[in-house]
């Protein structure tokens, strides 16, 4: 059966997906002109203290706007803005790392960052409309949709171009309105006032919400508070699931085994990197140790029934991603086993 309409929402990959969907003579030259943006996560308490909870939004020497803010106990600094053709291969290059550190030295000359304080790095692709502007910062950041007709009889393709996280609801509504019009259907549900995810039924009295859930589930107040901070009101599902069986904290982290199991079962986790890079903040905060990665892999492999070779493949793929895309070598992860143990021992002794 052929669909009546295809929606291409592949962000920076939009032209690549169109190439697979439409015959060449139907496709425009190029819709997307993605730019790569890289960021560093820095573990430097002095820098974090200087920020005092604030974000600094500043212009670097070359006129580019950069950003610096406290992030989950570390500091996030970025970013670059470099045109790319293939979003699948982007990574933060050594030149970008230098650029970001230079921009930091420009705005805060007194702060010195040691290489080992960069605990994670990442690059993403901004799905910007194609543009010939030589200064990438001037490319508009708004969004629009366009419908491409397949003159050889295939379904038309509605392409979503541009967009930001902060505008994804209205962008989704725009695409839905265009699709409904095309299909001659009318809208039955409006999203304008709808809350999402952990923002649903968000309590005015947070402490009361946390206390009630703690009392009704038997999970400690501190733990519920941490999960509320992490998931908003979606924490209720996590708390109920963790309370329904024996649970334990993963090595040296604030994530528990049943919490990870809940994410595996409800958040479409198919690979170790889904879990450690995208469904949790373990890797991006620089908290991840080799012990934790191995324990998460054991959990995932058991849940999925993976045989030993598949498990080894997942481990190797994840470690390659960490090394090549995020600047974290296996030796660094391994060294974090020791650091965390020392931290725990010190804490225990001082406690």
Ligand X SMILES: Cc1cc2nc3c(=O)[nH]c(=O)nc-3n(C[C@H](O)[C@H](O)[C@H](O)COP(=O)(O)OP(=O)(O)OC[C@H]3O[C@@H](n4cnc5c(N)ncnc54)[C@H](O)[C@@H]3O)c2cc1C
> Please, which residue, 18 or 242, has the CB nearer to ligand X?
18
Question: Binding to ligand X by residue 17, rule CB under 6 A?
Answer: yes
Region near ligand X per CB under 6 A, out of 7-15, 186-194, 198-206, 329-337: 7-15
Distant-in-sequence, close-in-space partners of 68: CB < 8 Å, separation ≥ 6: 51, 55, 56, 57, 58, 75, 76, 77, 104, 107, 108
Nearest distance from C-beta of residue 199 to ligand X, angstroms: 16
Region near ligand X per CB under 6 A, out of 92-100, 118-126, 151-159, 175-183: 118-126
Q: Which of residues 28-87 bind ligand X (CB under 6 A)?
A: 37, 79
> Please, which residue, 158 or 295, has the CB nearer to ligand X?
158
- Between helix 330-350 and helix 308-324 the angle, nearest 10°, is 90
CA 123 – CA 108 distance, rounded (Å):
23
Instruction: Pick from 31, 44, 100, 124 the residue near ligand X by CB under 6 A.
Output: 124
Question: Binding to ligand X by residue 18, rule CB under 6 A?
Answer: no
Angle at 285 between CA 290 and CA 221, to 5 degrees: 100
- Residue 325 near residue 122 (C-beta atoms within 8 A): yes
Question: Binding to ligand X by residue 156, rule CB under 6 A?
Answer: no
CA 58 – CA 55 distance, rounded (Å):
10
> Please, which residue, 37 or 251, has the CB nearer to ligand X?
37
- Residue 175 near residue 158 (C-beta atoms within 8 A): yes
CA 313 – CA 307 distance, rounded (Å):
10
Nearest distance from C-beta of residue 191 to ligand X, angstroms: 16
Nearest distance from C-beta of residue 302 to ligand X, angstroms: 27
> Please, which residue, 10 or 337, has the CB nearer to ligand X?
10
Instruction: Pick from 42, 47, 82, 125 the residue near ligand X by CB under 6 A.
Output: 125
**Site map for ligand X, 220-259, x if CB under 6 A?**
----------------------------------------
CA 257 – CA 20 distance, rounded (Å):
40
Ramachandran region, residue 114 (left: φ > 0; alpha: ψ -120 to 50; beta: rest): beta
CA 67 – CA 86 distance, rounded (Å):
25
Nearest distance from C-beta of residue 83 to ligand X, angstroms: 13
At which residue do the structure tokens 């406690």 appear?
Answer: 351
CA 227 – CA 235 distance, rounded (Å):
5
> Please, which residue, 11 or 156, has the CB nearer to ligand X?
11
Question: Binding to ligand X by residue 166, rule CB under 6 A?
Answer: yes
Distance, C-alpha 193 to centroid of its chain: 25
Nearest distance from C-beta of residue 177 to ligand X, angstroms: 17
Q: Which of 197, 178, 237 is nearest to 213 (CA)?
A: 237
> Please, which residue, 26 or 332, has the CB nearer to ligand X?
26
At which residue do the structure tokens 């809350």 appear?
Answer: 195
Instruction: Pick from 11, 129, 156, 286 the residue near ligand X by CB under 6 A.
Output: 11
> Please, which residue, 65 or 344, has the CB nearer to ligand X?
65
- Binding residues for ligand X, per CB under 6 A? 9-13, 17, 37, 79, 124-127, 163-166
């Amino acid at each position: 059966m052929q669909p009546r309409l295809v929606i291409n929402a592949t962000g920076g990959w939009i032209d690549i997906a169109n190439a697979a969907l439409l015959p060449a003579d139907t496709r425009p030259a190029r819709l997307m002109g993605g730019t790569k943006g890289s960021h560093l996560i820095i573990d430097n308490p002095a820098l974090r203290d200087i920020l005092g909870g604030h974000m600094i939004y500043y212009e670097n020497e070359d006129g580019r706007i950069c950003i610096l803010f406290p992030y989950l106990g570390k500091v996030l600094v970025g970013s670059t803005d470099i045109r790319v053709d293939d979003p699948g291969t982007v990574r933060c290059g050594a030149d970008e790392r230098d650029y970001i550190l230079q921009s930091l030295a420009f705005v805060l000359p007194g702060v010195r960052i040691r290489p080992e304080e960069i605990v994670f790095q990442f690059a993403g692709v901004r799905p910007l409309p194609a543009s010939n502007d030589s200064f990438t910062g001037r490319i508009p950041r708004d969004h629009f949709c366009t419908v491409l007709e397949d003159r050889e009889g295939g379904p038309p393709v509605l392409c979503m171009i541009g967009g930001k996280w902060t505008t994804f609801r209205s962008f989704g509504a725009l695409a839905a309105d265009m699709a409904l019009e095309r299909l001659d259907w009318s809208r039955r549900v409006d999203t304008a006032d709808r809350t999402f995810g952990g923002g649903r039924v968000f309590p005015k009295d947070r402490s009361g919400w946390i206390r009630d859930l703690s009392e009704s589930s038997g999970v400690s107040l501190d733990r519920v508070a941490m999960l509320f901070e992490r998931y908003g009101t979606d924490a209720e599902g996590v708390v109920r699931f963790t309370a329904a069986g024996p649970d334990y904290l993963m090595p040296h982290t604030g994530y528990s085994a049943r919490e990870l199991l809940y994410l595996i079962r409800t958040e479409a986790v198919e690979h170790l990197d889904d879990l450690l890079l995208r469904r949790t903040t373990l890797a991006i905060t620089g908290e991840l140790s080799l012990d934790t990665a191995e324990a998460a892999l054991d959990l995932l492999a058991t849940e999925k029934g993976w045989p030993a070779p598949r498990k080894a493949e997942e481990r190797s793929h994840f470690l390659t991603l960490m090394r090549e895309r995020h600047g974290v070598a296996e030796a660094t992860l391994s060294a974090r086993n020791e650091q965390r143990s020392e931290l725990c021992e010190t804490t225990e002794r001082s406690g």
